[in-house]
Chain A
């Protein structure tokens, strides 16, 4: 309807424009999709509309168009060039994040500085290289997620925070996954200490 006032020229032009904009209309509110997301089955919605639809029937999470199973964590947000100035994250619930995959790391096997930017995702860095084994071990030790350790070794804490802000690379603090990762990191650390002692004394 907005297009109409902008373009009061010929009616065929108007129709075409209306048809064009209909391709980007939300399947629920029938208006141009705002905070657009697309389901795995390819149907376009406003995120607020879709999340409300899924909220109204939690036991039957189906696409309103084709009735295929739909998962709010598996919809893909669409970022156009324009977009509204309001922060979509302020809306509840926030629009799901896009799924990014980092490019593969360009480093030599067996030679990994644990203090790097956390390529590969976890907080657990444990690498064995024969030649420089003690060095890489120590480096990975510093990168454990225990705040007390990280803070003492130049910027360790900062690094951790950066990782938390990156979508999808690290579990949120306090979550179940975070606890598991911490637990694993500790186990690896103790195994490492044990082997170091074993190497020194045997």
Chain B
């Protein structure tokens, strides 16, 4: 039975990968996948940040792990590229999306799941957050959320828009104190870019 199941998974994944790799229409939506091993259990996904969002211009890598029971249980997907989003952990990249949990359906494919994640990037759901700090900022200070998410896109997702000079200088100050860049950005973002609070948080 187990052999048969993974057989279904394997042939299905072959089709799915072929669909995403060869279809030019799908490529235009900004979704790509790359096969990492022959057994198709590890796949790299990539989503282009949707236009008119703070993620525009960024390229976000995702780690896709296919369980033995696929497609009867969902693939395990998380962001590898750091992203500032209410439904994604700013620390681990874990995604809070119902179709990746209890709302999974066997007819969903890698393509539709990646499209759903892209849609989630367009319209966050702060009422069902993965990262409470980000969600709080999103609801209480939307402008600050937007500039922070943009800064993260430029720094971590190879975004090309200009960097916020103010934020950049604060990160540099923390780095001069010997803090790693990633940690500096993360702590500053969580403290609404208040340098004093961030310093106290790190050194206390």
A85 within 8 A of B: no
Q: Inside 8 A of B12's CB, which chain A residues have their CB?
A: 29-31
Given A52-B72, A56-B72, A56-B73, A28–B11 Cβ distance below 8 Å?
A: no
Q: How far is the CA of A196 from the CA of B28 in the complex (A)?
A: 85
B106 part of interface (Cβ distance < 8 Å): yes
Q: Using known A-B contacts A53-B72, A56-B73, determine if residue A64 contacts B105 with beta carbons closer than 8 Å.
A: yes
A62 interface residue (CB < 8 Å to B): yes
List of B residues within 8 angstroms of A67 by Cβ:
105
B71, CB-defined interface residue at 8 Å? yes
The answer to whether A65 and B105 have CB atoms under 8 Å apart is: yes
Flag if B106 contacts A62 (CB, 8 Å): no
Chain B nearest Cβ from A162, distance in angstroms: 36
Main secondary structure on B side of the interface with A: loop
Q: Which residues of B contact A62 (CB under 8 A)?
A: 105
Chain A residues positioned under 8 Å from B5 (CB to CB): 52
CA distance A31 to B14 in the complex (A): 11
CB closest chain-B residue, reference A27: B107
- Given contacts A29-B12, A31-B11, A49-B8, are A56 and B69 in contact (CB under 8 A)? yes
| A47 nearest CB across to chain B (Å) | 13
**Number of residues in B with C-beta < 8 Å to the partner?**
15
Known contacts A30-B16, A31-B12, A49-B8; decide if A64 and B107 are in contact (CB<8 Å). yes
Q: List B contacts of A49 (CB < 8 A).
A: 8, 106
Number of A-B pairs whose CB atoms are under 8 Å?
A: 35
Q: Given contacts A56-B69, A56-B72, A56-B73, are A64 and B106 in contact (CB under 8 A)?
A: yes
Taking a contact as CB atoms under 8 Å apart, the answer to whether A29 and B69 are in contact is no
The size of the chain A interface, using a CB distance under 8 A, is: 14
Which residues from A are CB-within-8-Å of B16?
Answer: 30
Selected contact of A29 from candidates B11, B73, B108, CB within 8 Å: B11
A28 adjacent to B107 (CB under 8 Å): yes
Please give, as numbers and ranges, the residues of chain A lying within 8 Å of B72 by CB-CB distance.
Answer: 52-53, 56
Contact for A30 among B15, B69, B105, CB less than 8 A: B15
CA distance A28 to B108 in the complex (A): 8
Q: Which of A154-185 contact B (CB under 8 A)?
A: none
Which chain A residues numbered 24 to 72 have a C-beta less than 8 Å away from chain B? Answer: 27-31, 43, 49, 52-53, 56, 62, 64-65, 67
Q: In the complex, what distance in Å separates the CA atom of A67 from the CA atom of B98?
A: 14
Query: Please, how many angstroms separate the alpha-carbon atoms of A31 and B109 in the complex?
Result: 13
B73 to chain A, nearest CB (A): 7
Nearest residue in B to A31 (C-beta to C-beta)? B11
Beyond A52-B72, A56-B73, whether A29 also contacts B8 by CB under 8 A is yes
Interface centre among A28, A43, A67 (most CB of B within 10 A): A28
Which residue of the partner chain A has the closest CB to B4?
Answer: A48
| CB proximity to A under 8 Å, residues B1-53 | 5, 8, 11-12, 15-16
The CA of A62 and the CA of B104, in the complex, are separated in Å by: 11
Interface flags, B104-127, vs A, CB<8A=1, else 0: 011111000000000000000000
Residues of B within 8 A of A64 (CB): 105-108
Task: List residues 80-137 of chain B with CB under 8 A from any CB of chain A.
Answer: 105-109
**Bound Cα distance from A29 to B107, whole angstroms:** 8
Q: List 7 A-B contacts (CB under 8 A).
A: A27-B106, A28-B8, A28-B106, A30-B12, A31-B15, A53-B106, A65-B107
Chain B residues at the A interface, C-beta cutoff of 8 Å:
5, 8, 11-12, 15-16, 69, 71-73, 105-109
Q: A30-B12, A52-B72 are in contact. List 9 more A-B contacts (CB 8 A).
A: A27-B106, A28-B71, A28-B106, A28-B107, A30-B109, A31-B15, A49-B8, A52-B5, A64-B106
A residues bordering B, Cβ < 8 Å? 27-31, 43, 49, 52-53, 56, 62, 64-65, 67
